[in-house]
């Protein structure tokens, strides 16, 4: 071909190539759905999504099951152990005259958290003192009657009556002390009661204010033993059948990692989310986990026979009559074509297309298929 003809055709070919690429300019924003060329491989579709968008869409991330193992990855929240959290309330109404603990401070079992002043406190303390006086008098009378009986001066029935009176006085004293103890115990003076911690731990909530008048049974403090904390998770009903109490849960947060154990898999779906609540416990003696903190959890599934790869059936979608899964990438997801084997129990065997080390979209993966369909006519990278 002659040189003048080449000079004419080359600009036209370049223009056609730019048109095929959508004529994208350097400063234009890249489309959310892209098509990437691999060297010597077929074009690979990709969807850009941020972690916030993935969470908002309810897309659940899992790892393929390899040889019966695998993991279900999802967000979780750290909560106080329900068995290690106690509400501290006032058994009687009164005015708060002293507070000895603030938020975050440690407290031992039986230590004073607050002091309440009231007429009921004065009455309880007075009953204890009166019972002590009666018990002392009854004890003195018993000793005197015993001495007189030994000297054959007093009749035996007088001794029996003295013993009975002393026993009744002791019972009345124990009752008065128990009533005072149930209300909190002595507070330093006749009209005061101490509010004591029922367990040792850390003050995680305090609603009492100095000088405040509180009603009986009003919550003043909340004490939690945070040496063990709970992990709350919610998974689909299909995945819940694969999780058993005792399963390991790998917990991760910025600069921290730990292992929890599943202690409860609810037999009832949450009415609002239609998901299955799961509770796991994790050691927190080092204090690295905080109540209310959001973390990433991976429920480790038990191993089984076989060395194949399987994924939840919800992870498999069909595009152009071919099965695919959506693999997590640094910027979102990419489409991976797979070959399917047998399906059983909500799981589908993958014959080829995955290595088993990927993170893939499971529940709500159809949203990614819809997003890919919206961008089918997008630009080619």
3-state secondary structure of 212: coil
The structure's pTM equals 0.48
Residue 218, CA distances (Å) to 82, 105, 112, 129 in order: 20, 21, 17, 27
Q: Which listed CATH number (3.40.50.2000, 2.40.50.100, 1.20.1440.130, 2.40.30.10) goes with 85-115+196-224?
A: 2.40.50.100
Question: What DSSP assignment string belongs to 261-281?
Answer: EEEEE-SS--TTT--EEEEEE
pLDDT score, position 23: 42
Domain map of the chain by residue range? 30-70+305-374, 72-81+226-300, 85-115+196-224, 119-190
Listed in sequence order, the residues at least 6 apart from 303 whose beta carbon sits closer than 8 Å to its beta carbon are: 67, 68, 69
C-beta separation of 338 from 353 below 8 A: yes
- The Cα–Cα gap between 275 and 263 comes to 17
Burial of 71 (0-12, 13-18, 19+ CB in 10 A): buried
pLDDT score, position 68: 53
Burial of 42 (0-12, 13-18, 19+ CB in 10 A): exposed
Tell me the CATH number for domain 30-70+305-374. 2.40.420.20
Residue 187, CA distances (Å) to 118, 124, 342 in order: 11, 11, 72
Name the nearest CA neighbour of 378 among 34, 18, 24. 34
Take residue 164 and report the two structure tokens written for it: 């009975």
Q: Is the dihedral of CA 87, 91, 94, 98 positive or negative?
A: negative
User: Does an H or E element contain 12, and which?
Assistant: helix 3-20
pLDDT score, position 9: 38
- The Cα–Cα gap between 260 and 300 comes to 10
CB atoms near residue 365 (< 10 Å): 22
pLDDT score, position 376: 57
Tell me the CATH number for domain 72-81+226-300. 2.40.30.170
**Per-run averaged pLDDT (10 residues), the chain, 381 residues:** 40 40 41 46 70 87 72 85 83 87 88 86 81 92 89 86 91 86 67 86 89 87 89 87 87 90 92 92 89 88 59 88 91 90 73 86 88 60 40
What kind of architecture, by CATH, is found in domain 119-190? Orthogonal Bundle (1.10)
- The Cα–Cα gap between 242 and 221 comes to 40
pLDDT score, position 171: 93
């Amino acid at each position: 071909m002659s040189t003048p003809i080449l000079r004419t055709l080359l600009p036209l070919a370049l223009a056609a190539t730019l048109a095929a690429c959508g004529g994208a300019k350097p400063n234009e924003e890249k489309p959310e759905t892209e098509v990437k060329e691999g060297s010597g491989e077929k074009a690979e579709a990709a969807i850009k999504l941020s972690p916030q968008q993935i969470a908002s869409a309810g897309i659940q991330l899992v790892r393929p099951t390899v040889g019966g193992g695998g993991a279900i990855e999802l967000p979780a929240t750290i909560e106080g152990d329900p068995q290690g959290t106690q509400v501290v309330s006032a058994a009687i109404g009164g005015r708060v005259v002293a507070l000895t603990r603030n938020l975050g401070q440690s407290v031992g079992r039986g230590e004073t958290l607050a002091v309440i002043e009231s007429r009921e406190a004065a009455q309880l303390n007075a009953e204890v003192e009166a019972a002590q006086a009666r018990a002392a008098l009854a004890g003195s009378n018993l000793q005197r009657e015993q001495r007189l009986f030994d000297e054959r001066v007093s009749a035996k029935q007088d001794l029996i009556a003295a013993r009975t009176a002393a026993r009744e006085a002791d019972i009345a004293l124990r009752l008065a002390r128990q009533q005072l103890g149930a209300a909190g115990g002595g507070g330093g003076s006749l009209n005061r009661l101490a509010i004591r911690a029922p367990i040792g731990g850390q003050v995680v909530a305090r609603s009492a204010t100095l000088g405040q008048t509180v009603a009986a049974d009003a919550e003043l403090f909340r004490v939690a033993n945070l040496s063990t904390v709970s992990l709350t998770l919610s998974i689909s009903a299909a995945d819940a059948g694969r999780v058993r109490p005792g399963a390991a849960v790998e917990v991760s947060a910025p600069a921290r990692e730990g292992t929890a154990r599943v202690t409860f898999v609810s037999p009832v779906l949450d009415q609002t989310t239609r998901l299955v609540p799961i509770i796991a416990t994790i050691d927190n003696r080092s204090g690295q986990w905080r109540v209310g903190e959001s973390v990433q959890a991976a429920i480790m599934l038990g191993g089984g026979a076989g060395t194949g790869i399987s994924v939840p059936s919800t992870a498999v979608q069909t595009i152009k009559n071919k099965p695919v899964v959506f693999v997590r990438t640094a910027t979102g997801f990419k489409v991976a074509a797979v070959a399917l084997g047998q399906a059983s129990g909500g799981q589908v065997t993958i014959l080829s297309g995955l290595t088993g080390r990927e993170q893939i979209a499971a529940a709500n993966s159809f949203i990614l298929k819809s997003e890919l369909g919206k961008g089918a006519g997008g630009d080619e990278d």
